[in-house]
Amino acid sequence: MKYSSFSPARIWTLASATVTQLVRMKILAFLLVFCVIVVGAGFAFPVMNPEQQLKLLKDVSFGALQIFSIVIAIVATSLLLPRDLEDRTLYTILSKPVPRFEYLLGKLLGVLVLIGVGLILMDIAFSAVLWLRQTMVLAQSIGALKQEGVATPEAVAQLNEFVGKQGLTWNVHFGVLAIFLKASVIAALALMISCFSTSTLFTVVITFCVTIIGHGQSLIREYFLQGHFSNVIEKLLSALLAIVTPDLGVFDVVDNVINGELVSSASIGLMLGTTALYLVGYSVVSHLLFVEKEL
């Protein structure tokens, strides 16, 4: 069957349809739950010191962001191919004709758009609550200094610097970016597995297990590879491990953000490069598997 040249418009049409399909699965309900969690965390435990209050808010919010992104990346992506096969939508799409690699790219892009939009909305809500809480904490702390009679310009400036470091900074948005990039890799992995999987449950379970292994690659290298083999073999095994399972530890900068530490440009570049590498690799393998798949 002949296909016309590569068409970004076709891919975007498929992505838009995928977003609509996923929204019907009540994904937006999670956004409401997230807002409730963030607001609750933002105004809970007022007796804590400023650092603890802001760190708690960031910890809870980033935890919810990661759960949202990983669950959507795994579950939503795992459902796409089986749902299209069950509804016979896949046959209709491929008979247009639409190349199989465009179909896969459209589906993956749709999932990434949904995750990205969801994270942006939650980032806005999170940032608003964090800024509000930061302002209130700063005002309360300055008031406490005035009551103690030690509200010197130096003390106030030091307090401003301390609370500002723990509050809303660009680091918070870099943390959200890291979560999105990690979810992108996991979604591409789930799509690849679904191309040879026989059931949705198998795809979900295997992707979830590989995700856990991906988070623990540094521990695997430390306890099972380091010191047990020669330097060359150790490097080869480490490279093989990174190929078989994605090295998700690259994206673990959230703890640094929660502690008020800066996310370096080198870390951002490494995350972007790693994401691009895995997306291309998993997409190519997905296409090779999908081409051979009997429909």
Torsion of CA 11, 116, 248, 74, to 10 degrees: -70
Rounded to the nearest 10 degrees, how much is the dihedral formed by the CA atoms of 96, 98, 100, 105? -130
pTM of structure: 0.85
Express each pLDDT in 243-265 by its tens digit: 778 888 888 888 888 887 888 88
How does pLDDT run across 191-241, given as a tens digit for each residue?
A: 999 888 878 888 889 999 888 888 777 666 666 656 555 566 656 666 666
Residue 178: per-residue pLDDT: 93
- Residues near 227 by beta carbon (within 8 Å), at least 6 away in sequence: none
Q: From CA 186, how far away is CA 245, in angstroms rounded?
A: 10
Contacts 24+ apart (CB under 8 A), 248-252: 248/182, 248/185, 248/186, 248/211, 248/214, 248/215, 248/217, 249/214, 249/215, 249/216, 249/217, 249/218, 250/274, 251/178, 251/179, 251/181, 251/182, 251/185, 252/178, 252/215
Q: Are 120 and 32 spatial neighbours (Cβ–Cβ below 8 Å)?
A: no
pLDDT for 282 = 92
Helix 77-86 to helix 170-194 angle (10° resolution) is 40
Are the beta carbons of 119 and 176 closer than 8 angstroms? Answer: yes
Q: Round the CA-based radius of gyration of the chain to a whole number and report it.
A: 23
Structure tokens at 112: 């990434």
What the block records as the tokens of 178 is 């890291």
Q: So what's the pLDDT on residue 237? A: 63
State the CB neighbour count (10 A cutoff) for residue 165. Answer: 15
Tell me how far apart the alpha carbons of residues 235 and 115 are, in angstroms, rounded to a whole number.
34
Q: Which of 274, 291, 294 is nearest to 102 (CA)?
A: 291
Q: What's the rounded Cα separation, in Å, for the pair 82 and 89?
A: 10
Helix (H, G, I), strand (E, B), or coil: what is residue 55?
helix
Spell out, as residue ranges, where the chain has pLDDT lower than 50: none
Q: Where are the alpha helices (DSSP H) in 43-99?
A: 50-71, 77-86, 89-94
Q: Does residue 82 have a cis bond before it (omega within 30 degrees)?
A: no
Residue 49, pLDDT score: 67
Position 82 scores a pLDDT of 81
pLDDT for res 137: 77
Domain-wise residue ranges, the chain: 8-292
Quick: pLDDT tens for 61-74. 888 888 888 888 89
